[in-house]
């Protein structure tokens, strides 16, 4: 009987200790005492996350993570995650942070805490080098290609003056094809799509002006104030010292987009 009571007391005690350690957990301290940070990232979302020829995680997110770890003075462990499981990985503590192209949205902000933006998918108007266009009004009388019913379609339609002609194609690929073949001088598309353009026709097309952007943040478990503050400090640093610019140049072929600069 007594043995049973003792066993019960131990179980309850351990349970409380566990609960306490969960509530009061400080992931930053855990990371530092462990000497390793576990970073979840996508590997099927190039150029942000991918597997390189050596079958190692690589890309924009990997490079950011590779700066983050030494900044915290710890080793880096990259954990490949997928779109559907990345938030469970974070919340269940299998990873410490997500540098996983997670767009900052109000819904997601309910389950995770976001850092300042460290990356963005921007939608912009791109076109032939010789087109002198810097703002929406300059589109007057011009023809511009977009993928029908896409974010870029909505954005271009909203700002284009009435005299502009918007050619809508079934996909980004089709719009891109029209641009390449010279049917249209301008295109509204994402920076990722612009990468393909540069690959196919290096130096012939450039960015005219940005339309909108979806910024991405590093995510931590809700309530990890210390870790989040430390990460924001890191992001400020790499924005200021040009390292984030380099990463943008390397993977997206252009400097850090404007949305990341303004605070």
Q: At closest approach, how far in Å is the CB of 122 from another protein?
A: 17
Site for another protein in 27-46 (CB under 8 A): 43-46
Please tell me the distance from the alpha carbon of residue 78 to that of residue 58, in angstroms, as a whole number.
10
Give the number of other Cβ atoms within 10 Å of residue 158's Cβ.
Answer: 10
Q: At closest approach, how far in Å is the CB of 126 from another protein?
A: 17
Please tell me the distance from the alpha carbon of residue 102 to that of residue 46, in angstroms, as a whole number.
14
Q: Does 180 bind another protein (CB under 8 A)?
A: no
Radius of gyration of the chain (CA): 23
Site for another protein in 58-97 (CB under 8 A): 79-82, 84-85, 88-89, 91-94
Please tell me the distance from the alpha carbon of residue 67 to that of residue 122, in angstroms, as a whole number.
23
Q: Which of 262, 237, 259, 254 lies closest to 64 in space, CA to CA?
A: 237
Alpha helices in the chain (DSSP H): 2-23, 27-34, 60-72, 86-91, 106-109, 151-159, 172-180, 191-200, 225-240, 243-252, 258-261
Q: Does 100 bind another protein (CB under 8 A)?
A: no
Based on CB atoms, which residue is closest to another protein, 46 or 255?
46
Binding mask 182-211 for another protein (x = CB under 8 A): -------------xx--x------------
Binding mask 113-152 for another protein (x = CB under 8 A): ----------------------------------------
**How many residues are present in the chain?**
263
# of chain residues touching another protein (CB under 8 A): 28
Which residue in this structure is represented by tokens 């942000």? 48
Q: At closest approach, how far in Å is the CB of 134 from another protein?
A: 28
Among 55, 134, 163, 181, binds another protein (CB under 8 A): 55
Based on CB atoms, which residue is closest to another protein, 43 or 160?
43
Q: Which two tokens stand for residue 45?
A: 């979302």
* Cβ–Cβ under 8 Å, residues 170 and 149: no
Based on CB atoms, which residue is closest to another protein, 91 or 180?
91
Residues facing residue 209 across a β-bridge: 125
Q: At closest approach, how far in Å is the CB of 141 from another protein?
A: 34
Binding site for another protein (CB under 8 A): 18, 21-22, 43-47, 50-51, 53, 55, 79-82, 84-85, 88-89, 91-94, 195-196, 199, 251
């Amino acid at each position: 009987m007594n043995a049973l009571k003792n066993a019960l007391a131990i179980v309850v005690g351990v349970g409380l200790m566990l609960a306490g350690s969960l509530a009061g957990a400080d992931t930053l301290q855990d990371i530092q005492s462990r000497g390793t940070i576990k970073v979840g990232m996508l590997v099927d979302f190039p150029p942000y996350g991918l597997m390189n020829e050596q079958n190692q995680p690589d890309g924009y997110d990997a490079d950011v993570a590779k700066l983050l770890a030494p900044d915290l003075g710890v080793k880096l462990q990259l954990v490949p995650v997928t779109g559907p499981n990345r938030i469970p990985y974070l919340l269940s503590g299998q990873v410490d942070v997500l540098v996983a192209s997670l767009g900052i949205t109000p819904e997601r902000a309910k389950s995770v805490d976001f850092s300042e933006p460290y990356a963005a998918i921007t939608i912009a108007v791109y076109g032939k080098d010789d087109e002198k266009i810097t703002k929406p009004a300059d589109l007057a009388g011009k023809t511009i290609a977009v993928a029908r019913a896409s974010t870029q379609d909505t954005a271009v339609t909203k700002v284009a003056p009435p005299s502009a002609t918007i050619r809508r194609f079934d996909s980004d690929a089709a719009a891109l094809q029209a641009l390449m073949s010279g049917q249209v001088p301008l295109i509204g598309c994402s920076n990722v799509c612009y990468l393909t353009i540069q690959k196919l026709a290096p130096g012939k097309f450039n960015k005219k002006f940005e339309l909108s952007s979806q910024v991405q943040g590093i995510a931590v478990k809700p309530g990890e104030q210390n870790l989040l503050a430390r990460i924001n400090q890191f992001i400020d640093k790499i924005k200021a010292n040009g390292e984030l610019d380099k990463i943008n140049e390397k993977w997206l072929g252009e400097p850090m987009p404007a949305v990341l600069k303004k605070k």
